[in-house]
Amino acid sequence: VSAPPDRSSRKKMAEKFAPPDRIGFIGLGNMGNPMAHLLVAAGYRLAVFDTNPEAIKHFAASHTCEQPADLKSLGASCPVVITMLPEGHIVRQVLLRDNGVVAGLRPGSVLIDMSSSSPVGTRRLAAELQDRGIPLVDAPVSGGVKKAIDGTLAIMAGGAIEVIERIRDLLAVMGKVFHVGNTGSGHAMKALNNYLSAGTLAMTAEAVIAGTRFGLDAAKIIEILNASSGRSTASEHKFPAFILPRTFNSGFALGLMAKDLRLAVEIATTEGTPSLLLQVLSGIYNQAEQDFGFSADNTDVVRYLESLVEDQNND
């Protein structure tokens, strides 16, 4: 990528990506799998990579896709590479390590990080990649597994407008695209969104726990909240779907939500803005993660809060 782009490369750098262009997709987990599925269904050719062989096996069982032997060859064969990984440190490693994606990339290629990564880390990474002539777009998503399956995610894209335009149609296969601002702003927006998402879940849980201890019925509380000003996605979706039935299986890990809150704290700390509620909330999710484990469901924060009631009664 270090050589200056020639004329045909420059032309390529302005072209929009469209089927059957080849896309590298790294991270076929709860979200990556259905998102990659939509891209194949739209006619893109996919080259996939995941450190978990089961994730690749599961995807390849029902999709035509290439399985490059390593990240460098994936980078070399794909003009667009999407990462959908647990967090930004892993994205950085996958891109920049010896024989990583960047080692193989050709001029005109675009990197899209759809993971919920650190906005501060993403800004730094983008600057380093820019020195090598590689544009990075952060395009994290909201909507959970269900909207990933339906292709109705909210996609919060950060990056130069001319790069966003090249990938807009491709992203639109997976959901509604919002251009937030410069690289890093998508990741900031996502962390701040999840602050509210995690906050309303924990607050609704505390309200329901208090209400039921007082003798109210949990399902009735949720029904009334949903007709009142206290409603949120926690009351409208998470409680009816995963908490009242006690399945705790939203498909979004508790450890990932705790990470998102730490990222929101990082933004507030870096910018010197008040984060009184956020600090407490982040502490609650960190403790819940310690008690229930990274892979527990994010809705298990309710069980964590319930466990505090028992602790009090045992005193």
Side chain identity at 83, as an amino acid letter?
Answer: T
- Comparing CB distances to ligand NAD, the nearer of 142 and 182 is 142
Give me the least distance between CB of 244 and ligand NAD, in Å please: 19
Catalytic residue among 11, 146, 147, 190: 190
Tokens at residue 262, please?
Answer: 């730490």
Binds ligand NAD (CB under 6 A): choice among 120, 136, 198, 256: 256
Distance CA 197, CA 203 (A): 10
Q: Please, which residues bridge with residue 26 across strands? A: 49, 83
Binders in 97-116 for ligand NAD, by CB under 6 A = 115-116
- Which residue in the set 23, 24, 25, 31 belongs to the binding site for ligand NAD (CB under 6 A)? 31
Rounded CA separation 270/120 (Å): 9
> Half-sphere exposure (CA, 13 Å, Cβ side) for 290?
6
Residue 183 lies near ligand NAD (rule: CB under 6 A)? no
Catalytic-residue membership of 176: no
Rounded to a whole number of angstroms, the minimum distance from the CB of residue 156 to ligand NAD is 10
Tokens coding 287: 């403790």
Q: Would you count residue 81 as binding ligand NAD (CB under 6 A)?
A: no
Strand pairing report for 136-138 and 141-142: unpaired
* Spatial CB neighbours of 276, under 8 Å, sequence gap ≥ 6: none
Nearest residue (CB) to ligand NAD, 52 versus 270: 52
Among 40, 47, 55, 191, binds ligand NAD (CB under 6 A): 55
Structure tokens at 314: 């045992």
Judged by CB under 6 A, the residue of 134, 141, 191, 302 near ligand NAD is: 141
Q: CA-to-CA distance for 201 and 233, rounded, in angstroms?
A: 8
User: Three-state SS for 177?
Assistant: strand
Closest residue by Cα to residue 113 from 132, 149, 78, 86: 86
Q: Is 51 in the site for ligand NAD (CB under 6 A)?
A: yes
* Residues 265-294, interacting with ligand NAD (CB under 6 A): none
Candidate list 30, 77, 212, 226; residue touching ligand NAD; CB under 6 A? 30
Query: Residue numbers of the site for ligand NAD (CB under 6 A)?
Result: 26-32, 49-52, 55, 84-87, 90, 94, 115-116, 141-142, 144-145, 251-252, 256
Tell me the catalytic residues. Answer: 190
